[in-house]
């Protein structure tokens, strides 16, 4: 790193806006910007929650009137399919996160640590297939899952969900491993560790913050995924996003019920994010 070699050079102090502020002002500025960020990020969600608690006649004019109700939630929960859908979505999101990460952590490691034809070919493949829009393959996927007899089953939804993450995750995993010094693994190999041992005991722990971050993203992504769920399921495997999509009909949108379902769907997502981010924050340094 250049900075490390630049000994003896002291860069000139930059006269920035922040420096012009008194220490107290600086703190206030930081606080204000944090609050501003929070407001922008939270407001649409806050508004969604507020919407979901409005009676059906007030879901659009949310700011007009102060009547609030839990009726929308009760109406949604009256549908038997909702509980089933929550369960299914949870299972699929969790399994697909687990398997996506398992299969891509190895392929990302391979991309990071090996060079040569095989690595190049694999990298080229995942890059190229990442660029193809869903429109090309979702409909064929519908037929493919039917040919293999897994349409409208857990498997028929789970396997495509794993496949869809392979390109991106492999690449990102490569990025994580690229940021980790490989000399430790070489040392482990010299010490008599097998390649698998070096991978599992040395490289993998260092990449854990990244993997934790990815697992949050993957879980939330699958939980909120519409397209695959709509195309690849039918009445046997209701998913929560499909239940939501069904509130839109040719005659309009039942926004009160849709927003209530969306808010309910946020609760598991919130829990997963809070638990997951603990690992990102903690980070595991070697």
Partner 1 sequence: MLRKISLKRALTYLSVGCAALAVSLLSPAHAQVKELKVGYMKNPIQEASVDIMEKWAKKNGVKLVKIPMAYSIFQEKVTATLTSGNDQFDVIWHNDDWGQLWIKWLARMDDVKGMDRVSKHPLDAFYDEDGKVSAVPMAHTVGTFFYRTDLVKPEEVPTTWAELVSVSQRLQKEGKVKWGYVGGMAMNNTWFSLWWTMWGNKCDIFMPMWERDNKKLNAAGWKPALTEPCTKEYVEFWWDALYTHKISPEAMTSYTRDEANAIFMAGDAAFTLVDSTHFGDFNSPKKSRIAGKVAMAPQPMGPRGEKPFAWNEIWGWGIPKGVPADRQKLAKEMLGAMLTDMEGQKAMWDATGGPPPSMDAWDILSKDDKVFADLKNAVFDQNIGTHSAYYFPAWPAVHKAYSDVMIGALKGKREDIPKAMAAGMDAVHKAANGGQ
Partner 2 sequence: MGTPGPDKAPGKPGKSFALRWLALNEKTRFSLLLLAPSGIMLILFQIVPILIGANASFRDWSLYDPQRTWVGLQHYIYILTDPNFLYLVLPNTLLLMVSSVSIGLVLGLALAHMLNKHFFGHAIVQTVILLPLMVAPVIASMMMRWIFNDQFGVVAAVIGALGFGQIAWLSDRWPSFAIIVFTDVWLWTPWFTILLLAGLRSLPKEPYEAAAIDAASKWRVFTHVTLPMMRPIMAVCIVIRSIDCFRTFDQVWVISGGGPARQTEVFSIYAYTEAFVYLNFGRGTAAAIIGAIIIGTLGWGLYKLLNRFMEVSR
User: What whole-number distance in Å separates Cα of residue 127 and Cα of residue 226?
Assistant: 24
55 binds partner 1 (CB under 8 A): yes
* 85 in Cβ contact with 242 (< 8 Å): yes
110 binds partner 1 (CB under 8 A): no
* 170 in Cβ contact with 107 (< 8 Å): yes
74 binds partner 1 (CB under 8 A): no
What contacts 72, CB < 8 A, 6 or more positions away? Answer: 52, 53, 54, 56, 256, 257, 259, 260
In the complex, the smallest distance separating the C-beta of residue 152 from partner 1, rounded to whole angstroms, is 9
* 107 in Cβ contact with 123 (< 8 Å): no
- Three-state DSSP class for residue 102: helix
175 binds partner 2 (CB under 8 A): yes
57 binds partner 2 (CB under 8 A): no
In the complex, the smallest distance separating the C-beta of residue 258 from partner 1, rounded to whole angstroms, is 11
Candidate list 21, 49, 50, 56; residue touching partner 1; CB under 8 A: 56
61 binds partner 1 (CB under 8 A): yes
Q: How many CA within 13 A on the CB side of residue 245?
A: 16
Size of the site for partner 2 (CB under 8 A): 112
User: What whole-number distance in Å separates Cα of residue 203 and Cα of residue 100?
Assistant: 18
Q: Residue 73, by phi and psi: left (phi above 0), alpha (psi -120 to 50) or beta?
A: alpha
7 binds partner 2 (CB under 8 A): yes
252 binds partner 1 (CB under 8 A): yes
190 binds partner 2 (CB under 8 A): no
Question: By C-beta, is 69 or 224 nearer to partner 2?
Answer: 224
Q: Is 49 exposed, middle or buried (0-12, 13-18, 19+ CB in 10 A)?
A: middle
Looking only at residues 109 through 128 of this chain, which bind partner 2 when binding is defined by CB under 8 A?
109-110, 114, 118-119, 121-122, 124-128
Radius of gyration of the chain (CA): 24
What contacts 211, CB < 8 A, 6 or more positions away? Answer: 101, 105, 173, 176
Candidate list 73, 142, 154, 168; residue touching partner 1; CB under 8 A: 142
274 binds partner 2 (CB under 8 A): yes
As beta bridge partners, residue 248 has: 253
* 126 in Cβ contact with 170 (< 8 Å): yes
In the complex, the smallest distance separating the C-beta of residue 56 from partner 1, rounded to whole angstroms, is 4
226 binds partner 2 (CB under 8 A): yes
Cα dihedral sign for 196, 198, 201, 204? negative
User: What whole-number distance in Å separates Cα of residue 233 and Cα of residue 81?
Assistant: 14
Looking only at residues 122 through 161 of this chain, which bind partner 2 when binding is defined by CB under 8 A?
122, 124-141, 143-144, 159-160
Q: In this chain, which stretch among 107-115, 159-167, 184-192, 246-254 interacts with partner 1, using CB under 8 A?
A: 246-254
Looking only at residues 29 through 48 of this chain, which bind partner 2 when binding is defined by CB under 8 A?
34, 37-38, 40-42, 44-45, 47-48
In the complex, the smallest distance separating the C-beta of residue 157 from partner 2, rounded to whole angstroms, is 11
Q: Which positions lie near partner 1, rule CB under 8 A?
A: 55-57, 59-61, 64, 139, 142-143, 146, 230-231, 234-235, 242, 245-253, 255
């Amino acid at each position: 790193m250049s900075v490390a070699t630049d000994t003896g050079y002291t860069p000139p102090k930059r006269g920035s806006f922040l420096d012009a502020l008194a220490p107290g002002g600086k703190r206030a500025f930081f606080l204000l910007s944090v609050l501003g960020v929070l407001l922008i990020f939270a407001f649409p969600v806050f508004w969604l929650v507020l919407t979901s608690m409005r009676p059906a006649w007030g879901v659009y004019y949310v700011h007009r009137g102060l009547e609030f109700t839990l009726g929308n939630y009760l109406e949604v929960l009256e549908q038997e399919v909702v509980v089933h859908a929550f369960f299914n979505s949870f299972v699929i999101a969790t399994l697909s996160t687990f398997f996506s990460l398992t299969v891509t952590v190895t392929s990302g490691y391979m991309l990071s640590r090996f060079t040569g034809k095989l690595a190049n070919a694999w990298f080229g493949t995942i890059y190229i297939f990442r660029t193809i829009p869903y429109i090309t393959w979702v409909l064929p996927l519908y037929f493919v899952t039917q040919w293999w007899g897994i349409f409208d089953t857990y498997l028929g939804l789970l396997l495509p969900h794993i496949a869809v993450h392979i390109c991106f995750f492999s690449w990102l995993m490569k990025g994580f491993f690229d940021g980790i010094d490989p000399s430790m693994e070489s040392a482990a190999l010299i010490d008599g560790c097998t390649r698998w041992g070096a991978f599992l005991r040395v490289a993998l722990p260092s990449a854990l913050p990244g993997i934790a971050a990815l697992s949050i993203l993957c879980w939330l992504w699958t939980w909120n995924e519409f397209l695959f769920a709509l195309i690849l399921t039918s009445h046997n495997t209701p998913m929560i996003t499909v239940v939501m999509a069904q509130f839109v009909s040719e005659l309009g949108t039942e926004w009160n019920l849709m927003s209530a379902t969306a808010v309910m769907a946020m609760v598991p997502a919130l829990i997963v994010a809070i638990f997951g981010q603990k690992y990102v924050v903690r980070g595991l340094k070697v």
